[in-house]
Structure 1
Amino acid sequence: MDANEIITRYAAGERDFRGLDLRGVNLANENLRDVNLRQATLNDANLSGCDLKGANFREAKLEKVNLQGAHLELANLIGADLAHANLTEANLNEAGIRGTNLTKAILNKANIQDANLNEAVLDEAHLREANLSHSALNRCHLIEADLTLAKLEGASFANAMLTGAILTGANLAAASLSGANLDNADLGGADLSRAKLQGSTLVNAHLVQANLRGANLSWSSLRGAELRGATFYRAKLSWSNLSGADLKEAVMISASMDYVNLRNAVLTGAILPDGRTHE
């Protein structure tokens, strides 16, 4: 089926195109709201600028599809394969993306607020300046993903895999990262104020100048982490492991640090919980 036939049938009121082979089809800028493309094959298709609000792409094959600037609010992308897809500046607000494969997909500046991405795979995905505020990314894979300057306020990353991820300057205020793996992640200058990081692992992570005011890092592991100039004002660090961490000039005023492991940690110039500066 070619693009003209789909457009004609859609205009006549048809919405069910499930299971069709539409690879390479060009439907750029078309209105296809509420279309049903469940289990359809759309690899290499051009859907840029399309209005696909409420569309059903469940378990569809969308490898290398162009969805740049597409409207996918409330769309169903559960279990779809969007590896290497281009979703730059796409609107995925409240979309269902659970278990979706977005490996190496491009989602720079995409709007993905209030979406369900639980168990989705976004390894090496590009999410620079993307807005994922209040979205669910529990048990999600974001290994080596680029989330530079991403808006992640209030998002949930419980037990997510973020090893080697780039989160430089990202806004993670009030985000939940309990049990998440952030080993070797770059969180330089990130806002983690009031974030929940209980039981998380940040071994060798880069958190220079990070804002951890009021964050809960109890029972977390920050072995060898770079925390120079980080702010821990009123943070909870009880039972955490900071052995070998670089805490030069870190601010820890009023932080809870019961049973913290600071073996071989560097504290030169750090402001301690009681307000004293470590020599």
Structure 2
Amino acid sequence: MNVQELLVRYSKGERSFTGIALPEANLQGANLGGVDFGRADLRGANLTSASLSGANFSKANLRGAKLEGANLSEVIFSGADLTQAKLATANLNESDLSGASLSGADLGDAILHMASISAANLQGANLSGAKMGGVRMWKANLQGADLSGADLSEANLSEVNLTGANLDDTDMSEAFLTGAIMPDGTVHS
């Protein structure tokens, strides 16, 4: 299947594209709300400014995908591979990124209010300026991540690994930090 066929089938009401292989696909600005891309291969795909609210990308391969400025609110990314993905300024409000691999991903200035990022790998990720109020990041790996200027107010950061993370100007007011490994290696009690 190619991009044009996907868009035609979507326009006719089809939503399930589980396991589809469209690496490097150009879907920039596409409106694919509610689409099911579970286990899809979208490595390196261009989804910049796409509208994907309510979509399912569980266990999908989005390694190196471009999702800057995309509407990803209430999207399911559980277990997805978003290694080195570009998600700067994306709207990920109330999305499920639990168990996802986001190592080296760019989430600068992304909006992640009330998102679930539990047990996700964000090692070396850029989260500078991200709006993450109320986010649930239990047991997430944030080693070496850049959280400078991020809003983590009221976030659940219990048992997260922040070893070597940059927390300059990070708002962690009322954040839950029980068992978190802080940047200097100490465990928060």
Query: TM-score, normalization: structure 2?
Result: 0.98
1:125 maps to 125
Q: Any residues of structure 2 matched to 1:252-263 within 5 Å, and which?
A: none
- 1:82 has 2:82 as partner: yes
Letter in 2 for 1:101: S
Aligned pair count reads 189
Partner SS for 1:71: coil
Q: Distance in 2 between matches of 1:72 and 1:173?
A: 26
Q: CA deviation at 1:175?
A: 0.3
2:102 maps to 102
Partner SS for 1:8: helix
Letter in 2 for 1:119: A
Q: CA deviation at 1:121?
A: 0.5
1:111 maps to 111
Letter in 2 for 1:136: R
Q: Which runs of 5+ in 2 are unaligned?
A: none
Q: Distance in 2 between matches of 1:145 and 1:183?
A: 10
> 1:159-200: CA deviations, max 9, x gaps?
110000001001000001111001427xxxxxxxxxxxxxxx
Partner SS for 2:8: helix
1:178 maps to 178
Q: Give 1 or 2 for the bigger CA radius of gyration.
A: 1
1:169 maps to 169
Q: CA deviation at 1:47?
A: 0.4
Q: Distance in 2 between matches of 1:70 and 1:24?
A: 17
Q: CA deviation at 1:134?
A: 0.2
Partner SS for 1:9: helix
Q: Distance in 1 between matches of 2:76 and 2:143?
A: 24
Q: Distance in 2 between matches of 1:5 and 1:93?
A: 30
Partner SS for 1:61: coil
Letter in 1 for 2:46: N
Partner SS for 1:167: coil
Q: Distance in 1 between matches of 2:102 and 2:183?
A: 21
Q: Distance in 2 between matches of 1:131 and 1:90?
A: 11
Partner SS for 2:113: coil
Letter in 2 for 1:150: A
Letter in 1 for 2:36: N
- 1:148 has 2:148 as partner: yes
Q: Which runs of 5+ in 1 are unaligned?
A: 186-200, 203-216, 221-279
Q: Distance in 2 between matches of 1:9 and 1:179?
A: 48
Residues 166 and 183 in structure 2, CA contact (< 8 A), matched pair in contact too: no
Higher relative contact order (CA 8 A, sep 6+): 2
Q: Distance in 1 between matches of 2:129 and 2:7?
A: 34
Q: CA deviation at 1:128?
A: 0.6
Letter in 2 for 1:124: G
1:256 maps to none
Runs of 4+ with deviation above 6 angstroms: none
**Fraction of identical pairs, as percent:** 38
What do you get for the CA RMSD once the two structures are aligned?
1.1
> 1:51-96: CA deviations, max 9, x gaps?
0000000000000000000001000000000000000000000001
